[in-house]
Amino acid sequence: MLRSVPGPVQSIERAAAILRLLARGSGRLGVSEIAGSLGLARGTAHGILRTLHGVGFVEQDGETGKYRLGAALLHLGTSYLDVNELRSRAINWADALAARSGEAVRIGTPLDGKVLVVHHVFRPDDTLQTLDVGALLPAHATALGKVLLAYDAGAAAALTGQLEPFTRRTKTVPRDLAKALAEVRDMGWAAEMEEMTVGEAGVAAPIRGQGGLVVGAMGVSGAVERICGPGGRPNPTLVTYVRDAARAVSRDLGASRW
Amino acid sequence: MVERYVMSVDQGTTSTRCILFDHAGRLVSVTQREHKQHFPKPGWVEHDAMEIWRNLERIAPEAVAQAGATPDQVAALGIANQRETTVLWDRHTGRPIGHAVVWQDTRTDRLVDELAAHPRADMVLERCGLPLATYFSAPRVRWMLDNRPGLRERAERGDVLFGTMESWLIWNLTGGPEGGLHITDVTNASRTLLMNLTTLDWDDELLTFFGVPRAMLPRIRPSTETYGTARQVLPGVRIAAALGDQQAALFGQTCFAPGEAKCTYGTGAFLLLNTGNEPVRSTHGLLTTVGYQIGDEPAVYALEGSIAITGALVQWFRDGLGIISSAPEIETLARTVDDNGGCYIVPAFSGLFTPYWRSEARGVIVGLTSYITKGHLARAVLEATGWQTREVVDAMNADSGLALKALKVDGGMTADNLLMQLIADVLNVPVIRPMAAETVSLGAAYAAGLAVGYWPDLEGLRRNWHRAAQWLPAMDPARRAVEFGNWHRAVERTFDWIKPDG
Ligand SMILES: Nc1ncnc2c1ncn2[C@@H]1O[C@H](COP(=O)(O)OP(=O)(O)OP(=O)(O)O)[C@@H](O)[C@H]1O
Ligand SMILES: [Mg+2]
């Protein structure tokens, strides 16, 4: 394979120019005005605008057809997918995962270095269980948290010093955790082996949104003897169920490649 | 062995969904497409039946493909549909006559008043178990026949057909103008005001009363039965069930025994209580309706509390006001405040259904002060669903003489945790969501699967039901009483808004 430092990508440069243009002055421009200002063919400008529209960076006025900066740009720093919307979009697949695996399902999103439980489906055995939605879990000691950390370099780097131990098996040394997170990225899923609660294990996989960005994690957890096979590793069938469910949600959210 | 599945079609008010289920009743694939809501005048709501058919043509094969399956792996197809929405179409061309008139549409209010003044009007409630209201199909058919020149003659000749959405879809699936089956099921027929609840057949006197020609009506069939085989979209697949969406949800929640009930939260909300093989009459504004009929077994009846607007209020917040950009954001916004700030929204957009049955009521927002933010409004939106549920449950308790011990819920709004907690709070009973939020679809699939022997019996289906979530009441009783009182005062302010002479 020929390796060379790739040059700038022309369409991204043009997209940036369009955004700068819209950020100026009245902030409302038609396709022709934009094409004219930047010396682009109308079709080219239109194609870029449609893509920017698709990711929410520009919005189009229903009446005049003119473009302006999109709301998504203002929220770039915060989570772009509302957690309640994530629950709505995932609820069918979370139910199916619980039914298939026979275990409780949780969906988590990152919040202040922890995992916010945004959805919880009971283990389907009709025993008394309590909804966990709104609870905060430690990121380094849960499968959900490890998935979120594995795909967010910034959050992982923020974990320094001794990490809080919950059991003998909690990974408390950042270097050990970093190794585990690299494995999560390699495998595409994370496991939790009695690291949070003795006797409990879990498996989780990433939920991706548009462009592949990880917006949450979805997983099952339960008694270690049910989650793990004889070798002490998570049951491969269970792992497949979890990954398939997370992928189905990702597909619904518009992550095309997963 | 190749895996086989059952497909459901849920033709709802806002969208059409196709789902494949496996033997354990687990969702394997799902495809969905929204259709356009037409609001040509205040109080009018229409759908394009052709658009809905095209949506089905597109998403049904997609659902099969998404499961990595082929049509021959689909053991049966079951349909659940928005009820009472009225489609007329030309038998020869297959083209709909104008738009379908949707169940929320109130254009027939004047006509309904006229009909109600007729000396024989009492016969309607007696024979159908339903009050004479704009909600049901017969006045709509009459309105359409009256308002299009020449249509009545074509209908009398049988050239123009009537159906609710399941009839329209089955007719198209089974060949359309080339021999399509023109049928409906008992549950849908029970919502027309034209079917006699005890004979389960069209009633000549009701037909005369509403001026609807028999030649345009579909044949009434049981809810589960192999009606025929699809020739379009999924050729060769057996069409084996049809139910109104709310009845399908009752089936999907496996409420097979008298006394079992569920409430489905979608565009509107509908609480149905299985009353067994006898139609029970309400004295508190509930409807008597058919729950389902399995093959040639006796029909199972239900009492129903209907709320016209629940999710539709959220939708209005999104599309009409643009305050939120997706329905679930209503919860996010509502959580920015601790209470409603003294503000109440009564969404009487289509009048009020159970227990009031007032077509002339229209929506109000009361208690506005400068203090009120969009957060308070969002909270009032969710509370409106809570209090409307409370009114329906109170009516149900009064009619049955028993107090509901827990509420089984389903539908798109059950993804809203704040709302589910609110409902538990205002009812003061636990709220339980089963492990299939798409219970309407599951019910349609169950019914079809039963018909073709994919599932052996009702008991087997019951074993698939599991609790996915539960919310326990946690509201101070004094506060509950005060809030409920405020709600009542807000409701009174919706009355008598539309004047009889327009
Ligand atoms: N998280 C939420 N909070 C509140 N309302 C919601 C939420 N998610 C969806 N909704 C509302 O629920 C409705 C969608 O639910 P569902 O998909 O069950 O309805 P539907 O099947 O389209 O209704 P129908 O069958 O009457 O057409 C919409 O009206 C939407 O506004
Ligand atoms: Mg529905």
Residue with tokens 């690299």: A182
Cβ(B338)–Cβ(B308) below 8 Å: no
For ligand 1, whether the C-beta of B84 sits within 6 Å is no
| DSSP code per residue over B91-129 | TTT--BSSPEEPTT--TTHHHHHHHHTSTTTHHHHHHHS
> Which residue, B252, B243, B225, is CA-closest to B291?
B243
Question: In chain A, what residues touch B320 (CB-CB under 8 Å)?
Answer: none
Separation in Å, CA of B470 to nearest CA in chain A: 7
Distances (CA, A) of B425 to B161, B361, B410, B418: 47, 27, 17, 10
Among all bound ligands, the one having the nearest atom to the CA of B35 is: 1
Distance (Å, rounded) from C-alpha B425 to C-alpha B406?
Answer: 12
CB-closest option in B24, B331, B469 to A131: B469
Contact partners, residue A26, CB within 8 Å, separation at least 6: none
Distance (Å, rounded) from C-alpha B216 to C-alpha B185?
Answer: 15
Given this model, what pLDDT does residue A18 score?
A: 84
Cα dihedral value A207, A210, A211, A215, nearest 10: -30
Among all bound ligands, the one having the nearest atom to the CA of B440 is: 2
Distance (Å, rounded) from C-alpha B469 to C-alpha B421?
Answer: 11
pTM (2 decimals)? 0.86
Separation in Å, CA of B363 to nearest CA in chain A: 27
Distance A68 CA to ligand 1 centre (A): 30
DSSP B219: E
pLDDT in tens, chain A (258 residues): 555 666 777 788 788 788 888 887 667 888 888 887 777 888 888 888 888 888 778 888 888 888 888 877 766 655 568 899 999 999 999 999 999 999 999 999 998 889 999 999 999 998 889 999 999 999 999 999 999 999 887 777 777 788 899 999 999 998 999 999 999 999 999 999 999 999 999 999 999 988 788 899 999 999 999 999 888 899 999 999 999 999 999 998 887 655
CB count within 10 Å of CB A95 equals 25
DSSP A149: H
Q: What is the 3-state secondary structure (H, E, C) of B35-68?
A: CCCECCCCCCCEECHHHHHHHHHHHHHHHHHHCC
CB-closest option in A91, A131, A134 to B470: A131
Angle between helices B439-451 and B245-252 (to 10 degrees): 80
Distances (CA, A) of A140 to A173, A183, A195, A213, B485: 10, 14, 9, 20, 49
* Atom 19 of ligand 1: nearest residue by CA position: B266
Q: Is B65 on the interface with A (CB under 8 A)?
A: no
Tokens encoding A194: 């009695």
> Which residue, B172, B253, B258, B218, is CA-closest to B436?
B253
pLDDT in tens, chain B (502 residues): 678 999 999 999 989 999 999 998 899 999 999 999 999 998 899 999 999 999 999 999 999 999 999 999 999 999 999 999 999 999 999 999 999 999 989 899 889 989 999 888 888 888 988 889 888 999 999 999 999 999 999 999 999 999 999 999 999 999 999 999 999 999 999 999 999 998 999 999 999 999 999 999 999 999 999 999 999 999 999 999 999 999 999 999 999 998 889 999 998 999 999 999 988 888 998 999 999 999 999 999 999 999 999 999 999 999 989 999 899 999 999 999 999 999 999 999 988 988 998 888 999 999 999 999 999 999 999 999 999 999 999 999 998 887 888 999 999 999 999 999 999 999 999 999 999 878 999 999 999 999 999 999 999 899 889 999 999 999 999 999 999 999 999 999 999 998 876 5
Question: In chain A, what residues touch B412 (CB-CB under 8 Å)?
Answer: 88
Tokens encoding A149: 């950390």
Distance (Å, rounded) from C-alpha B171 to C-alpha B241?
Answer: 14
